[in-house]
Every structure is written in structure tokens, then in C-alpha cells.
Amino acid sequence: MNNTNKAISIPDMRSPCPIANTLDILGDKWTLLVIRDLFAGKSTYSEFQSSPEKIPTNILANRLKRLTENGIILKTPYQERPVRYAYRLTDKGLSLGPVLREMANWGVNNIAATKAQIKMNL
Amino acid sequence: MNNTNKAISIPDMRSPCPIANTLDILGDKWTLLVIRDLFAGKSTYSEFQSSPEKIPTNILANRLKRLTENGIILKTPYQERPVRYAYRLTDKGLSLGPVLREMANWGVNNIAATKAQIKMNL
DNA sequence: TATAGTCACTTGCATAATGCAAGTGACTTG
DNA sequence: CAAGTCACTTGCATTATGCAAGTGACTATA
């Protein structure tokens, strides 16, 4: 059991609606792309930066911070000398698989010129 | 057959990824709440405004415009004298049900104090 | 027929988020 | 000891969001 068993709490909820509250955490253009990259096997800051959408580095830093605070990802050093960090999904993060799967599915069915490049276990 | 059979085209795609492209249409704090309201049976401007999250009216107008342009919703007058408009989901919009369902499901399982208020056919 | 009210927005402006480029510090390799 | 990599931070311009008030078409009531 890792640290994903505690629920996220949102200080000033705009409503009790689960969709609204989920959007307060994931509802922007970048957050779910970082999570997509994690599902695709990426784990370091520079790997996230190298994705084709070219996320600005300040936004990447901000999203990694927010996702960590919300218990969706975990930051750990994977080597010393020099110390290098890996981010990975917690159970809470892994449980976003179905959300990503349905979004990807909707995209391929409804947006022209979209192509799933790699097969992910969502 | 209604007008939902044409795929959305995104002028300057940031990548061919279906998740990235879906986020370019739905990735913000408000768009999916309007769609949620439509799934919940709401259809007029004032009904959307009355939802507990209190969407600013300029943002509501903007989102209804964008969703219409993307073929996700349809605007039709439902009465003359005075003319009143109803928005409703196209087939493309209805196919977002699974996305909403998985987001709602993730919210109830991972965010404290979230409560699904009404049962929706997602 | 003046007055008030509703609906579906629009406008103006302040605040916050995003986007771009450059810089920083710890560390390693040649 | 110079150059490079990693994981960021900072400064600033641009864009989006949020709030309040206003608009115009229409109706219902006095």
C-alpha cells in the first residue's frame, strides 16, 4: 500500500459535483498530457519536455508540483552522483487510466488527423 | 442522421495525439460542466447560469459558441414570441458520455466531500 | 400605455494563467 | 578547468478568466 489511500481535499469547492472537482485538478491543457507521458513510460523532467507538444518549462514545473501535492504522482531520486529524479504515478494516478482511455477514444473518433502513435495500457 | 458525422478539424495541431487534441477542445475548467448540464437535461442559457458553479456569462457565451462551432452542440429556437433558444447535444456531444462517466467516477473515488447529486445517463 | 421583468447575451476592465526566452546551480565528463 | 546535462527558476509579454454592469428584444401587469 502506497500513499494513495488518502482522498484529495479541495479547500474552496465550487460545488460538490465530482466532475467539477475533478476539473479543478485536471481541467487544463497540460496536466493530462503529463499523465499521458507517465502512462507512456516517461518519468523524468527532460523526457516530459521532449514530448511533441513542447510544454513550457515553468508550466511543467508547476504541474509536477500540483500533481505531487495531490498525491497523483510521486517524486523520487533514482540515482545519486549526480542525483536524478524520477516521477511516477501513484495508485491514484494509475486510476486515471480510464479517463485517458475515453478521451483518447473520443479523439480518434471525432477529430480529423488525430493518430494514436503508441499503444498504452490505459 | 444529424450533422455530427463530420470530424472536427484543428487548424494548428500541437501534435497528432488524440488526447492533446481532445484537450484543445475540452481542456479547461468550464466546457465539460456545460456538457454535464446538457446530459443532466438542461438546455437554456439561464439554466446553465443557474448551476451551482456559477459560470461567468461571458465564458458561458464563449463556450456555447465554441461547442457549436465544433459540432458538439446545436442551437435551435424552441418557441417564437418571444423567441427562446435551446441547446442540445449532437451525436458527437452524446459520445462524450464515457469521458464524463470516468471523470465522475474518478472524482467520487479520490476527492473528499464530492457527492454525485443526480443520476445521469452517461 | 408606461413600468417592470425575463431572456440571452455583450462590453469594459481588473486579475490570473499561460507562453517564451534566458538564466541558475549542482554536478559530471573530457 | 572548460563545456555539458539535468532540473528547474525568473522576468516579462500575451491571453484567458472573472466580475459587474449594460443592452435589446420581447412580454406581462397596472
Q: Is B31 inside any structural domain?
A: yes
What is the reported pLDDT for B112?
Answer: 93
The whole-number average pLDDT for the span A58-71 is 97
Protein residue with the closest CA to the C1' atom of nucleotide C10: B58
Q: Is A83 inside any structural domain?
A: yes
The whole-number average pLDDT for the span A53-66 is 98
> How many residues are given for chain B?
122
Nearest to A114 among B16, B111, B113 (CB): B16
CATH number of the domain within which B103 lies: 1.10.10.10
Asked if residue A57 keeps its beta carbon closer than 7 A to nucleic acid strand C, the reply is yes
> CB B18 to CB A108 under 8 A?
yes
What is the reported pLDDT for A63?
Answer: 98
Confidence check: pLDDT of A3 > 60: no
Q: Residue B56 CA to nucleotide C16 C1', Å?
A: 15
Confidence check: pLDDT of A121 > 80: yes
In chain A, the number of structural domains is 1
Cα separation of the two ends of chain A: 21
Give the pLDDT band of residue A82 (cuts 50, 70, 90): confident
Domain that holds residue B30: 18-110
What is the reported pLDDT for A17?
Answer: 97
Asked if residue A30 keeps its beta carbon closer than 7 A to nucleic acid strand C, the reply is yes
The whole-number average pLDDT for the span A11-23 is 94
Q: Is B91 inside any structural domain?
A: yes
What is the reported pLDDT for A11?
Answer: 82
CA distances from A57 to A53, A61, B22, B57, B117 (A): 12, 6, 22, 33, 39
| Residues of B 53-112 whose CB lies less than 7 Å from any atom of strand D | 54, 56-59, 62, 81-83
Give the pLDDT band of residue A2 (cuts 50, 70, 90): very low
> CB B29 to CB A25 under 8 A?
no
Radius of gyration over alpha carbons of chain A, in Å? 15
Q: Residue B16 CA to nucleotide C25 C1', Å?
A: 36
Q: Which amino acid is at B85?
A: Y
Taking the Cβ of residue B53 and every Cβ of chain A, the question of whether any pair is shorter than 8 Å is answered with: yes
Contact A59, A48 (CB under 8 A): no
What is the reported pLDDT for A41?
Answer: 96
Q: Is A12 inside any structural domain?
A: no
Q: Is B7 inside any structural domain?
A: no
Average confidence score pLDDT of chain A: 93
| All three cell numbers of A53 | 507538444
In chain A, residues with a C-beta closer than 8 Å to the C-beta of B102 are 98-99, 101-102
Contacts of B72 (CB under 8 A, 6+ apart): B25, B35, B89, B90, B92, B93, B96
Q: Residue B62 CA to nucleotide C24 C1', Å?
A: 41
What is the reported pLDDT for B80?
Answer: 83
What is the reported pLDDT for A81?
Answer: 80
Q: Is B12 inside any structural domain?
A: no
What is the reported pLDDT for A65?
Answer: 97
Contact A122, A96 (CB under 8 A): no
The whole-number average pLDDT for the span A52-72 is 97
A&B contacts, CB < 8 Å: 170
Q: Is A80 inside any structural domain?
A: yes
Cα–Cα distance for residue pair A15/B116, rounded to 1 Å: 10
What is the reported pLDDT for B5?
Answer: 61
Contact B52, B46 (CB under 8 A): no
Q: Is A6 inside any structural domain?
A: no
Q: Chain C: nucleotides under 7 Å from a protein CB?
A: 6-12, 17-23, 26-28
What is the reported pLDDT for A80?
Answer: 82
Query: What residue ranges of chain B have pLDDT lower than 50?
Result: 1-4
